[in-house]
Structure 1
Amino acid sequence: MTGRSLPDGVRRAFRLVVGGRAAQRQAARDVDDEIAFHLAMRADRLRAAGLSDDEALAAAHRRFGDVTRVAEACRVEDDARDRAIGRGELLGSVWQDARFALRGLVRTPLTTTAALLTLALGVGATTAIFSVVYGVLLRPLPYREPDRLVQLWQTARVTGDAHNPLSVPTYRDWKERVRAFDGTMAYAFNRMTLADRDGTPEQVRGAMLWGDVARVLGTRPLLGRSIMESDAHDPVAVLGEGLWRRRYGADPHIVGRSIRMNGVPHTVVGVMPARFRFGSPDVELWTGYAQILADTLWSTQRGRRFQRVIARLKPGVTPAAAAADLSAVARELGRLYPDNEANTGAVLVPLREELVGDVRPALLVLFGAVGCVLLIACANVAHLLLARATARERELAVRAALGAGRGRVARQLLTESLVLSALGGALGIPLAYVGVRVLARLAGDSVPLMETVRVDASALAFTAAAVAVTGVLVGLAPALRSARRDLASSVREGARGAGQSRRQHGVRGVLVTLEVALSLLLLVGAGTLLQSYVRLRAVAPGVRTDGVLAALVAASPTKYPDAARRVALYDRVAERISAIPGVRAVGTCDCMPPEHVSQSGGVLVEGVDPGSSWPIVQQPRAGAGYFAALGIPVRAGRAFTAADRIDAPPVAVVNETFARRLLGGSGDLARAVGRRITMDGTTWMTVVGVVGDVHYSGLAAPVDPLMYTPFAQAPSPGMDLFVRTGDDPARLVPAVQRALLEIDPELPLSMARPLEAAVLESIAAPRFQTTLITLFGCVALALAVVGVYGVVAYGVTQRQREMGVRVALGAGRARVLRLVVSQALGPVWAGVAIGLLGALAGARVLGRFVYATSVHEPATYVAVAGTLVAVAAAAAYLPARRAAAADPASVLRAD
């Protein structure tokens, strides 16, 4: 292949490399010649002094020194000087280009403003989403060597449930037998009532810890120390920084002080910093395990599984090796304790995966969506810069005629795009800060670690990279076009003020196609998620949520240690709250629809062979007024009454799913009434009623079999309270709080909110995803419409002479209108076709996020495609109408 047959870019690169090496060889020859000259001059002087030729040459070399070293030093110095001169020239040239670019942007304020706003929107949104992705998925957890932390769960081999908590005896066995761990720590959540002399009672979210926090997590406390292994049986507490500042005024002497919590004095041993997030973001204090280990039932029975466990791997131990060791221990325990451990295994999950594994796909989809918005913004700005470069063709041609090379002109245009992108990125940073706050509010508790998300150095570095890439992308088309443009034709077209080249029109068409394809991809996703969310929102939770106040009431287990006192307390609570004006019904339950139930377990139905295992059912405890307060219908039999006390025969109420699946009530629910069931094989309960199904595992999950037991027959210290009223339930909060304090000054009300708010919180994650994807889709549609309008309007301006000639030759205005619109829709149709193919290919990504909705819904695809084409046609109609209405005589005279 000859050099002439090589592409221009390859030849230029070849000349650059070869020319640079030739210059280096020439510089080396110059140094050698200079040294040879100096040696010859000195040798001549020595010959004149009487030395022979050989002696004179040898003496000249001795006096000159090491020729090779001097030559190398000279070459190095020469290279350094050339590089310094080159850098200075380059920096001066770049600075000159940047100043010229700024002056040029100021001269076109409308184009510059539109481009800056578009880039600021794209860069700001992308930076905000990147901050969320980095903060949740990539930023190291605030613990020492977080990659060595793992979460441990028991697995149920029969049901397939892989995330079961552990009992105290099982945890002890794992801790002693598994050799792969450098430390373990068990924890369980609890509500803590603070009732010391410094303020009114306050209930906070807490966690009980059993283990050495410093060894496992490696987090240093702000004051004092953290929970230690030796604190297991002692009433000690560690406060979170927020609680310490809010309730105790940031008292620096808090360590060693006694506070009353859950009716028991606890000694404060430390304060953890605000960045310490363990267990749950809303946990504000941590205690030892004294309450659990003092209870013989919870501390000795293997069937009472309530703990979560974190372990630290030993150095050099891989998660796979630790999982194998843990599984071997679980199998051994199954042989030793067949009644409780035979059907359980173990699973080990890296802590970060445990925390964010469920939201990772959704965040990556959102990041991809906002990336599409940024690409559309880049295409729009590229439109503007192409139009600007076309308007400057005469100027660029004159610069080329005066000696500026094509590369120099292209570099100037690329510098302008980089300056524009940098300014847009600077404007986008404040938008990113605002966007992160908005995202945090939209996400709520549906995105773990969201409270740690911020626009930090990593996000700013990403912004800088995005700005650089964006600048290159938006400036590439104008720069390449100017480098390929013929000088003579540019001067001729500039002199005539004539139009648009076919190649330029093709570039703009490609950009429009890209915008439309990406917009369609986003809009199809938004439409699919929106349908899913609407259908999820329409799911009936099984309760009447209107007019219901939901709250948590947690009594002190020390003040109310036995069943009789707890039953008496909640009887007084129900009686006192029922007397509040406007209250229609009061109920209690240790469950919160639509996504929380207290416990599950196996159930045996009398006369039915369970096979290898008992069916697993949900097992909440409910008070007598619970079903009336939440409007849960009684389908057969009766609900609980005040007569279902601890000394009465054990009874149960089941839901419809339980009755149909397990009690043979598929045809007649009344057949389930009177059947007997047991949870332990000893105590048999009689089914006295069947009630409607209620969602306790989320609105998207199917209803599971469930049996309610009377609260009075198995009372617990804490219960969810439900108060039905005919007014706004939020107005009841002060009155309910006063009623509780009148009953017990250490009985606060917490988590009070309308039940409708609890239902909305349960679907916060799909609402977050749907809102953002829909927002991105609308922004993409708006940018695409602006792009189509800009391309058509500019094309009409460039083709005014052609349109005038067509009209002068007899073409009707309607024909000109159709011509312009049809030509404008060509790239749009191509973009629709490409976007539909992309949407079909990527539909499976949305499959895990939708409820009762097909990701290949034809109506969605047709509606989105039709909307895009219609909007694009409307955008093209306005400039096309202006072209058709032009006066041919005036257009031709102006030409």
Structure 2
Amino acid sequence: MWDDLSQTLNSLRRAPGFALLTLLTLSCGLGFAIYSAAIYFSFTAGNIPFPAPERLVAVEATSHDERTQGKSVHYLDFLEYARATPSLEGLQVLDTATVTLGGTQQYPQNFQAAYVPAAIWPWLGDAAKPEAGRLLQASDELPGAPPVVVIGADIWQNFLAGSKQVIGSHISINGISTEIVGVVPAALRFPLTQQLWLPFNMPGAGMVRAQAMEMGTAKHVMVLGRLKAGASRSQAQQELDLTAQRLATSFPKSNAKVGAVALPYAKWSMPDTDAIYLGLAGAAVLLLSLVCINTANLLLARANERRQELAVRAALGAPRGRLIQQMLAESLILSLAAALIGLFFSAWALEATQQAVFETSDGRMPFWIRIQMSGAAAAFGLGLTFVTALATGLLPAWRASAVDTAAVLRDGRGAGGLAAGRFSRVLVFLQIMLSSLLLLVSAAQTYSVHQRLNAGTGARTEGVLTAMLRPRQAAYSKDEQARAQLWARVEASLRDSTAGDSGVALALSTSLPGGGMTSTEEVLPEGMAIQDDRYPEAGTYSVNAGFFKALEVPLLAGREFGSHDRADSLHVAVINRNFAEQYWPGLDPQAVLGKRFALSPKKGQTQRDWYTVVGVSGQLVQGTGNDKGMRSHNIYLPINQSVPDQLGIAMVGWADTAANRELLAKAIARADPALALEHVYSAEERQKIAYGGSEVMAALCLILGLMTLALGVSGIYGVTSRAVAQRTQEIGVRRAVGASDAQVLRLLLRQGLWALALGMPLGLLLGWLAVTQMDEVGPTLLLGMLGVGLVISAVVMLATWLPARRAIAMPPNMALHCE
């Protein structure tokens, strides 16, 4: 065996060009496959520090058999699930929220909090062992119990300056003085990203199910269970299904389409990532297939060069199995070396991905996820290396070992040209098909993400400092008039801060363009006939006077809001162009002014809120989906007439600097010193965060496209030129009997055209199907298919023409003796 390895290494040293090209080719495929596997294991098998984390089961409600994520289980349904799921040790209910901490010498800050029952702490083991004080107890959940909190060590050290008297001290949480009873390790961010924990209190008494399906209300909770020893998640799922069916029968109005799904803890409140995993796995499989074809072709050419050596060995008595073993050793050594190179670059790529994802996650990534190389991914890569070695080396070794010893020793060539030619044509077909497929998919995804990131929102983004303000104190959450007065104070304080700078403008909105959430409400345009009580929906946003001018959004007709648009005056609205074209088609924007519509029309004819259109704006992208945002029907209302629960702040003309952030915080403190700003970013950074990992996906698609193009060009050229080279003797014969150069060239080009005509349409069709499953199809996809077709066609024609020209330039007598 060692002799075989030594001989193989010496053989590779004598062919450095072959070894280097094969290494680079294999490294691309194996590196991307290992990277994809590491991404999968990072998200599905994270470092969860709890005892037996595989026994933790998250329960989410489903709507129409689709996951709803997070806070979705009705509390009354939870009680039924807890009673009728014997495969679980128990079900615990909890909730999460953002809270505002104050009562210290610095500005208030917002932190992620969880409302948990005391019974859940044992499930967390030593990860929740207090560094000081105690954990929450059952007595803390009793009605009338004094408010208490357990905080993470990060809050203790950074927000409270590591006070030694922290236990027993009080801190303001949403305006309520709360005693700190414990400090837990900073690494604990249970259940997802939370840093402080409050006692869970059951939702209000007299709870009933809604008359229609609803989710995400104060009656809905998050649910976590723990499997009994020996029980499986599928058992728990069956029990939940039976309970959900019984509830659907008993309460059809609220539960007819509601189910429950038992998920691993690592998937709790995470969006469905199966499409990402499948996309990465599909790309890795296709790329590795392309690599295997390239490598197999190189090894076939290599075996062809060694046929005399193999014939001599066979003549000396070497069995066929020994010849195959020696040639497979070459493939295995190259695959192992390529795997090491791929492992290095995939580890580097994972670090870059980790940094890019967490920079844009805005603190939403669960604490246990760390995108890095894992033992499972490395083991997967090792196994894949052996599979790749067999896939690329076995067929060339088998074909080369079936050597016609007498023919090769006699004239140095041997037979089998017809079978080799057929096999080469199959390789050309597969290369063209896979290259067309991968190149189209990667190009389409790169273009799609690039468009989303660079299309803009319709508003100014340069030199804009943004923030979000959510007053969580009970005085504001329960009193609309108090909130209206707060927004008036906030706007006045912000304008005072910019009074000396004419280049600064202020825009306030419940959702800022390009980085906020969409908010929809049912509408009834005046005169529109409604059937089956199914009203259309439109995005509704409360904005301040001067909002459109500040963000440089043009008005197509009418006016903006002013100080005269008060709560007791005529209710008015600005609509966007899409709304006007949808509900008053054919009318000029000027003619739409004065039209009316009602919001929440199901209130009844006498209670409907009618709004008069006083302006029509250009398109402004709300939310994060550019395509969807450009098609949405949006309504803008004055803050005074539609008082919001939260406001986004855009200081147009203020760069994102520490000084400007301080000015913004001081302005808010003047309005109410108990309030805390959150999500303070530049407009560009806000939009980048809103798109999450889109930039990462764009980079991956671009890299995949470049790798595909490089492998496709080299592979198609290598396979095609080898197929032409195998016909060198045939070319010599044809020319010797009188065939012209043009006739020979047409013959060879026709071979490439047949492979192109069969492989490229199939590859483009498969690529089109893949793209339509991942994204909406636009006219640019047709241009992409045309561009990919031209690139692949040019590569095939060049790969056929160049070796054909070399073969034609060779004298017939030399071609007849060509090896």
Q: TM-score range by the shorter chain?
A: 0.7 to 0.9
Identify the residue that residue 106 of structure 1 maps to in structure 2: 13
* C-alpha contact (below 8 Å) 2:446/2:701 kept by paired residues: no
1:148-180 residue CA offsets vs partner (Å, 9 max, x unmatched):
63444486x9xx99849879xx95534445523
Q: CA 1:649/1:250 → structure 2, altered by over 3 Å: closer, same or farther? A: same
Match of 1:833 among 758, 775, 791: 758
Q: CA 1:758/1:731 → structure 2, altered by over 3 Å: closer, same or farther? A: closer
Q: CA 1:528/1:658 → structure 2, altered by over 3 Å: closer, same or farther? A: closer
Q: Which amino acid aligns with 2:494?
A: A
Shift of 1:468: 0.4
Identify the residue that residue 595 of structure 2 maps to in structure 1: 672
SS of the counterpart of 1:349? strand
Identify the residue that residue 38 of structure 2 maps to in structure 1: 131
Shift of 1:475: 0.9
The correspondence of residues 845-856 of structure 1 with structure 2, limited to 5 A, is 845-853=770-778
Shift of 1:319: 2.7
1:673-711 residue CA offsets vs partner (Å, 9 max, x unmatched):
597877867976452445436443532336555554543
The correspondence of residues 642-653 of structure 1 with structure 2, limited to 5 A, is 642-644=563-565, 648-649=568-569, 651=571, 653=573
Q: CA 1:620/1:275 → structure 2, altered by over 3 Å: closer, same or farther? A: same
1:180 equivalent in alignment to 2:80: no
* C-alpha contact (below 8 Å) 2:469/2:649 kept by paired residues: yes
* C-alpha separation in 2, matches of 1:584 and 1:251: 41
1:394 equivalent in alignment to 2:318: no
* C-alpha separation in 2, matches of 1:96 and 1:665: 83
Q: How many residues are treated as equivalent by the alignment?
A: 774
Match of 2:561 among 607, 627, 640: 640
SS of the counterpart of 2:627? coil
* C-alpha separation in 2, matches of 1:780 and 1:481: 28
Gapped regions of structure 1 (runs ≥ 5): 1-93, 335-340
* C-alpha contact (below 8 Å) 1:658/1:704 kept by paired residues: yes
1:587 equivalent in alignment to 2:497: no
Shift of 1:388: 2.0
Question: What is the TM-score normalised by the length of structure 1?
Answer: 0.73
Identify the residue that residue 29 of structure 2 maps to in structure 1: 122
* C-alpha separation in 1, matches of 2:746 and 2:453: 45
* C-alpha contact (below 8 Å) 1:370/1:776 kept by paired residues: no
Farther-moved stretch of structure 1 (635-644 vs 863-872): 635-644
SS of the counterpart of 2:649? strand
Identify the residue that residue 711 of structure 2 maps to in structure 1: 783
SS of the counterpart of 1:512? helix
1:347 equivalent in alignment to 2:259: yes
* C-alpha contact (below 8 Å) 1:535/1:851 kept by paired residues: no
Question: What is the TM-score normalised by the length of structure 2?
Answer: 0.79
SS of the counterpart of 2:563? coil
Q: Which amino acid aligns with 2:286?
A: C
The correspondence of residues 664-743 of structure 1 with structure 2, limited to 5 A, is 667=587, 668-673=591-596, 685-689=609-613, 690-692=615-617, 694-697=620-623, 698-701=625-628, 707-712=635-640, 718-725=646-653, 730-731=655-656, 734-741=659-666
1:629 equivalent in alignment to 2:550: yes
* C-alpha separation in 2, matches of 1:617 and 1:292: 35
Identify the residue that residue 878 of structure 1 maps to in structure 2: 802
* C-alpha separation in 1, matches of 2:557 and 2:129: 59
SS of the counterpart of 1:846? helix
SS of the counterpart of 2:593? helix
Q: CA 1:228/1:507 → structure 2, altered by over 3 Å: closer, same or farther? A: farther
* C-alpha separation in 1, matches of 2:415 and 2:167: 80
The correspondence of residues 247-326 of structure 1 with structure 2, limited to 5 A, is 258-259=170-171, 262=174, 265-266=177-178, 267=180, 269-271=182-184, 274=187, 276=189, 278-279=191-192, 283-288=193-198, 305=217, 308-312=221-225, 318-326=236-244
Q: CA 1:664/1:481 → structure 2, altered by over 3 Å: closer, same or farther? A: closer
* C-alpha separation in 2, matches of 1:830 and 1:356: 45
The correspondence of residues 511-530 of structure 1 with structure 2, limited to 5 A, is 511-529=427-445
* C-alpha separation in 2, matches of 1:175 and 1:344: 16
Farther-moved stretch of structure 1 (285-294 vs 104-113): 285-294
Q: CA 1:99/1:249 → structure 2, altered by over 3 Å: closer, same or farther? A: farther
Q: Which amino acid aligns with 2:544?
A: G
SS of the counterpart of 1:318? helix
Shift of 1:201: 3.5
Match of 1:464 among 369, 375, 382: 382
Match of 1:483 among 401, 404, 408: 401
* C-alpha contact (below 8 Å) 1:577/1:736 kept by paired residues: no
Q: Which amino acid aligns with 1:108?
A: A
* C-alpha separation in 2, matches of 1:362 and 1:314: 28
Q: CA 1:500/1:321 → structure 2, altered by over 3 Å: closer, same or farther? A: closer
Q: CA 1:262/1:215 → structure 2, altered by over 3 Å: closer, same or farther? A: closer
The correspondence of residues 372-451 of structure 1 with structure 2, limited to 5 A, is 372-440=286-354, 444-445=360-361, 451=369
* C-alpha contact (below 8 Å) 1:191/1:554 kept by paired residues: no
Identify the residue that residue 8 of structure 1 maps to in structure 2: none
* C-alpha separation in 2, matches of 1:296 and 1:620: 34
Identify the residue that residue 53 of structure 1 maps to in structure 2: none
Q: Which amino acid aligns with 1:348?
A: A
SS of the counterpart of 2:335? helix
* C-alpha contact (below 8 Å) 1:594/1:696 kept by paired residues: yes
The correspondence of residues 754-773 of structure 1 with structure 2, limited to 5 A, is 754-764=682-692, 768-769=696-697, 771-773=699-701
Q: CA 1:716/1:291 → structure 2, altered by over 3 Å: closer, same or farther? A: farther
1:728-772 residue CA offsets vs partner (Å, 9 max, x unmatched):
x54456324324226527665542333344445444566655553
* C-alpha separation in 2, matches of 1:371 and 1:864: 20
Q: Which amino acid aligns with 1:669?
A: V
* C-alpha separation in 2, matches of 1:653 and 1:488: 92
Shift of 1:783: 1.4
Identify the residue that residue 791 of structure 2 maps to in structure 1: 867
Shift of 1:462: 0.8
* C-alpha separation in 1, matches of 2:18 and 2:310: 19
Identify the residue that residue 196 of structure 1 maps to in structure 2: 104
Q: CA 1:324/1:695 → structure 2, altered by over 3 Å: closer, same or farther? A: farther
* C-alpha contact (below 8 Å) 1:226/1:272 kept by paired residues: no
* C-alpha separation in 1, matches of 2:14 and 2:62: 69
* C-alpha contact (below 8 Å) 1:807/1:813 kept by paired residues: yes
Shift of 1:114: 1.4
SS of the counterpart of 2:222? strand
1:578-609 residue CA offsets vs partner (Å, 9 max, x unmatched):
33636432122222334644755566889999
Q: CA 1:830/1:579 → structure 2, altered by over 3 Å: closer, same or farther? A: same
Shift of 1:348: 2.0
Q: CA 1:238/1:876 → structure 2, altered by over 3 Å: closer, same or farther? A: farther
SS of the counterpart of 2:332? helix
SS of the counterpart of 1:192? strand
Shift of 1:459: 0.5
Shift of 1:861: 4.0
Shift of 1:371: 1.2
* C-alpha contact (below 8 Å) 1:222/1:273 kept by paired residues: no
Farther-moved stretch of structure 1 (428-437 vs 862-871): 862-871
* C-alpha contact (below 8 Å) 2:443/2:702 kept by paired residues: yes
* C-alpha separation in 1, matches of 2:680 and 2:727: 67
Identify the residue that residue 509 of structure 1 maps to in structure 2: 425
* C-alpha contact (below 8 Å) 1:817/1:883 kept by paired residues: no
Amino-acid identity (%): 24
1:468-517 residue CA offsets vs partner (Å, 9 max, x unmatched):
011111111221123311211222243xx789844334433333322222
SS of the counterpart of 1:390? helix
* C-alpha contact (below 8 Å) 1:658/1:707 kept by paired residues: no
Gapped regions of structure 2 (runs ≥ 5): none
SS of the counterpart of 2:324? helix
1:552 equivalent in alignment to 2:468: yes
Farther-moved stretch of structure 1 (731-740 vs 119-128): 731-740
Q: CA 1:565/1:278 → structure 2, altered by over 3 Å: closer, same or farther? A: same
